[in-house]
């Protein structure tokens, strides 16, 4: 069994916590008011909106060394809903990896809405979590938690693939915001 | 009923032709040897690999004026399978629209494998074609053909969204090439 720390108590943090709990893992769920509480997990999920990540890193960066850090963000321009705020040839995950050189950074959960994580399904399909990262052991550890929680996992490749995962997350958010898809649906994977 | 011209007789061209035929539309399917045959459709699908598009435009550009031109390409670096060959802030669709200023360019079909177009399903889901473009009437005309052929359609937004559709197509191709998903499966949409 693994022990996760999830920074962020919003719908995504709660949904990821529920997946881990279903798999029999223990979860430390930390909110903004818990900044003085040390992180106890070896796997840390940054379940905060992209604009809050830099604050979390400035507060918690030293504690994140040697840990697996999971970036779930979709770095949208939430004013226009028409672009990402990271460089076209970069990603939020790449920025986070650069800011945390002693952590093993993964991109995951940004292509699944909270509702499909919690339900375990996207319509008739089992929800699939796409994971990108450069450390095979870290990906395997996270994949084990996700599959034990009843979801499917696909290894999407190196952390460089976070760029495409963020494009997919962005696309899915724009479709939901424009009522082309439901917040309880979206992209599923038929492997 | 519409009349389509499809330039390219590969598996994607044939699959798109089959969708149109199921919907009761007529199709002119043109291969490389048919360069002297005039295009007869008002909607023209460029069903050739990305590297061949520039040749098609140089041969057929004048004939494509005033037509709806559908770009289905995924402009991968097929040597590395690790990047796209278009600028990070651009897309193949944007390049084609720039080269064909008198055509109404749409991006479509690049996020569906040929097998799922032909079958009409991605596993338990009806195959969904994502269409991006700046001309609402052109999108509506293509959407009508696709839905009459038994598939679902989602309007993904402006032609600028082609960038995200190409990222999604790229991701899907890398997953299939790495045997993470099947060429008969991939991303489906549960609206």
Q: What is the mean pLDDT of residues B180-187?
A: 98
Distance from CA of A35 to the nearest CA of B (A): 36
pLDDT band with cut points at 50, 70 and 90 for residue A191: very high
Tens digit of pLDDT for each residue in B56-72? 999 999 999 999 999 99
CB count in 10 Å sphere of residue B118: 20
Q: Do B188 and A188 touch (CB under 8 A)?
A: yes
Distance from CA of A191 to the nearest CA of B (A): 4
- The kind and range of the H/E element at B15 are helix B11-22
**Of how many residues is chain B composed?**
191
Distance from CA of A157 to the nearest CA of B (A): 8
Tens digit of pLDDT for each residue in A4-56? 999 999 999 999 999 999 999 999 999 989 999 999 999 999 999 999 999 99
Quote the distance between the C-alpha of residue A9 and its chain's center: 13
Q: Count how many pairs of residues, chain A against chain B, have C-beta atoms within 8 Å.
A: 102
Q: What chain B residue is nearest to A158 in terms of C-alpha separation?
A: B82
ipTM, two decimals: 0.96
Q: Which residues on chain A are in Cβ contact (under 8 Å) with B170?
A: 164
Report the share of chain B in percent with pLDDT over 90.
98
Q: Which residues on chain A are in Cβ contact (under 8 Å) with B89?
A: 88-89
Q: Which residues on chain B are in Cβ contact (under 8 Å) with A185?
A: 189-191
Q: Which of B139, B130, B169 minimizes the C-alpha distance to B49?
A: B169
Q: Do B191 and A170 touch (CB under 8 A)?
A: no
Confidence at residue A133, expressed as pLDDT on a 0 to 100 scale: 98
The answer for residues whose C-beta is within 8 angstroms of residue A17's C-beta and 6 or more apart is A4, A6, A27, A29
Distance from CA of A181 to the nearest CA of B (A): 4
pLDDT band with cut points at 50, 70 and 90 for residue A60: very high
Q: Which residues on chain B are in Cβ contact (under 8 Å) with A115?
A: none
**Which of the 8 DSSP states describes residue A34?**
G
* A interface residues, B as partner, C-beta within 8 Å: 82, 87-89, 122-125, 154-157, 160-161, 163-165, 167-168, 170-171, 174-175, 178, 180-182, 185-191
Rounded to two decimals, the pTM is 0.97
Q: Which residues on chain B are in Cβ contact (under 8 Å) with A163?
A: 167
Mean pLDDT, chain A, as a whole number? 97
Q: What chain A residue is nearest to B168 in terms of C-alpha separation?
A: A168
- Degrees (nearest 5) of the Cα angle A73, A133, A120? 60
Q: What chain A residue is nearest to B167 in terms of C-alpha separation?
A: A164
Confidence at residue B177, expressed as pLDDT on a 0 to 100 scale: 96
**Of how many residues is chain A composed?**
191
- Residue B107 pairs with which residues in a beta bridge? B71, B132
């Amino acid at each position: 069994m693994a022990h996760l720390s999830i920074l962020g108590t919003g719908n995504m943090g709660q949904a990821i916590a529920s997946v881990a709990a279903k798999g029999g893992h223990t979860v430390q769920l930390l909110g903004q008011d818990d900044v003085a509480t040390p992180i106890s997990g070896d796997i840390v999920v940054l379940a905060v909106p992209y604009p809050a990540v830099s604050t979390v890193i400035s507060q918690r960066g030293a504690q994140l060394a040697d840990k697996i850090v999971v970036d779930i963000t979709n770095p949208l321009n939430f004013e226009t809903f028409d672009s990402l705020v990271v460089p076209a040839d970069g990603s939020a995950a790449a920025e986070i990896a650069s800011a945390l050189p002693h952590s093993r950074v993964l991109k995951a959960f940004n292509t699944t809405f909270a509702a499909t994580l919690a339900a375990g399904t996207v319509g008739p399909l089992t929800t699939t979590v796409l994971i990108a990262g450069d450390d095979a052991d870290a990906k395997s550890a996270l994949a084990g938690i996700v599959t034990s929680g009843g979801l499917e996992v696909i290894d999407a490749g190196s952390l460089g693939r976070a760029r495409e995962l963020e494009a997919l997350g962005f696309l899915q958010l724009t479709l939901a915001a424009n009522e082309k898809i439901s917040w309880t649906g979206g992209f599923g994977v038929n492997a």
